[in-house]
Structure 1
């Protein structure tokens, strides 16, 4: 049975999302992405303290990403069964436990265990989107998800700069003290400001997990997954290969890299603002197509410039402003469409979307890092980014327009 909506776009009978709640969801969805790479500048310091190779501490990133993908798959069905609020609160509590293990770690093993447990905060990524879809219809949810997911993209862009300054001033453990404070703040907001939005909870977990089978057989759902994962992969490919190109080819300093990298963050903010302002007016598919087109055309421009031998900070970073805008348009719309395919399984859909988005990003960032070390590294990385953008655009174009306007 379809949900009725009033003239504001709110689902009838559901508690309205108040502005403070939107802020809570933004913070909750940003905590896990911030923790993904805020410690990267401290890898050498941490390895020195524990007397292990830096590659061992580097596992703190790959293990975190793997755990994040797995947790999002579990969080969806659990939230459909028990409710969004308790699952998000439990995830925040586990994040604090993992952060404390990292702070007081006496060995690399304890540190890595703490990193894995920290990934429980990934419940905020998937379930903040499901909460929005619980309350708003498809057109309005695309707009609101644009605001909520802003933190998801901006946080990992700012994380390395924050972590590097914290490590230099106070040591690497101060980075995790900062995460602990932010985790406590997030938990407090969830406890006092987050209301339950799942009106259909109560089915057995195994029955909810069966929703994955239903979603897996839906071509429409996989097109939304494709847009979300592949347009994100354009950014993650740059995240993996960009620092190597900037350092080894262009000789840029970490500070210089951080300043140029802000262009991508600014672009995403602009794209999210436009999505939040106009998604309800134009619909899900037009916003997805526009965002995917930008996310493809920008690395295509980069590829052409690199092939012509124009490898400079401007040709490397300026197109990322366009990529950021494209991601800001496409991701909220594709997420809103994906969690609307089966509204009664919005939690499972959000978890599956998030898992593929993180998984594709992790894979492409690793591939890009290896490609960047080649003699033709800049061209190879730009080619990977363009390929991901093209496939994402293909998924967006082939999505059915009528599905984008379904309630």
Structure 2
């Protein structure tokens, strides 16, 4: 690693990526209040979350190749600047249409900032990219763990507009730190300058990367099945209180952080592919157990302690597939990040409709769909192993 790879730089990169979960989760407790203040239907305010995620995915598609073309530092400064200004504007919004438009701008600019981080990690950590990604994921997961509570605290002492003022202050602080500390990735002398489409042709045309990308998609589908179904499963089906739900959800976030900590300690010793497959084994066993306990209609705690190792396994799968994909494209990390991010959200978007389609009033569909996602990862890894198999016979020269 270079001298810029000080641990504080990793903290800064995690803080950049955390802008998205903070913007998504911090205002959730304020949705009913926002609807009342803007004289809007609660469904319109809830729609702002889907609009935000769609704009974020679209932004990644555009800004990923631009990061490879113009550099990470200027794009990060532009993104955080736009995120900050749109957060200020959101604090002054007076109509629901204005609120929704500003959320689109906030997400779009946030994508410009967050898409640069994996490329910087790839530059700093080289073959140990998975270790750097584990550090970032471990710290970044504090955002969804803390953001709803912070939003509730802000509502207790002030109004919903102060949530967006707080996001603006956060964005401005990170902008200053980027301007002061974020290094630019030097371009190799013989490296051709990419254009907007050549990067996508390179990424999608790489046969060895496709099984890894599809593995990431199946893993993300399983992960979003949990995120989408867990309120119904824990609260409505098993009868947990809202306070118990917060604790149980926090427990799973802690398990995700633990998985990233384990990955950061072991990935250098055994490699990203080994850690990915260790996560796949853990996820497969846990998903089978989860399906079994829900088929037998056992109580809440069997589901809780089946989901925890399953989420750890999915974290190991996701972190290491991301790293392996990035390592395939040293000159197109922005584009590869955009592909990963967009397809991750795109595959996760199937979770809600499929859960609704198979809904039968129990937790079994959620468990079976998570198992389906894990088995999809397994098939991709079997195919990946087939592509990279060693020759069975080596002909020695006479």
TM-score (norm 1): 0.88
Q: 1:41 aligns with which of 23, 29, 41?
A: 29
- For 1:309, the equivalent position in structure 2 comes to 297
SS in 1 for 2:239: coil
**Separation (CA, whole Å) in 2 of partners of 1:150 and 1:393:** 25
Q: Which runs of 5 or more structure 1 residues have no equivalent in the other structure?
A: 1-9
Count of equivalent residues:
387
Q: 1:328 to 1:397 in 2, by over 3 A?
A: same
Q: Is the 8 A contact 1:268 1:328 kept in 2?
A: yes
Task: Give 1:4-403 correspondences, 5 Å limit.
Answer: 10=1, 16-119=4-107, 120-138=109-127, 140-200=128-188, 207-312=195-300, 314-365=301-352, 367-368=354-355, 370=356, 374-400=359-385
Q: Is the 8 A contact 2:76 2:114 kept in 1?
A: no
Q: Which has the larger radius of gyration?
A: 2
Cα shift readout 1:178-200 (whole Å, capped 9, x = no counterpart): 22222122112211110101424
Q: Is the 8 A contact 1:264 1:323 kept in 2?
A: no
Q: Is the 8 A contact 2:208 2:387 kept in 1?
A: no
Q: 1:399 to 1:157 in 2, by over 3 A?
A: farther
Could you tell me how far 1:403 is from its partner in structure 2? Answer: 7.0
Cα shift readout 1:271-294 (whole Å, capped 9, x = no counterpart): 111111111111121111112332
**Separation (CA, whole Å) in 1 of partners of 2:140 and 2:114:** 7
Task: Give the CA RMSD over aligned residues.
Answer: 2.4
Could you tell me how far 1:378 is from its partner in structure 2? Answer: 0.9
TM-score (norm 2): 0.90
Could you tell me how far 1:395 is from its partner in structure 2? Answer: 2.2
**Separation (CA, whole Å) in 2 of partners of 1:402 and 1:219:** 9
**Separation (CA, whole Å) in 2 of partners of 1:402 and 1:157:** 39
Cα shift readout 1:321-371 (whole Å, capped 9, x = no counterpart): 213322332222111111121211111111111111122223324543x36
SS in 2 for 1:106: coil
Q: Is the 8 A contact 1:81 1:203 kept in 2?
A: no
Q: 1:98 to 1:191 in 2, by over 3 A?
A: same
**Separation (CA, whole Å) in 2 of partners of 1:169 and 1:255:** 20
Q: 1:254 to 1:169 in 2, by over 3 A?
A: farther
**Separation (CA, whole Å) in 2 of partners of 1:159 and 1:21:** 22
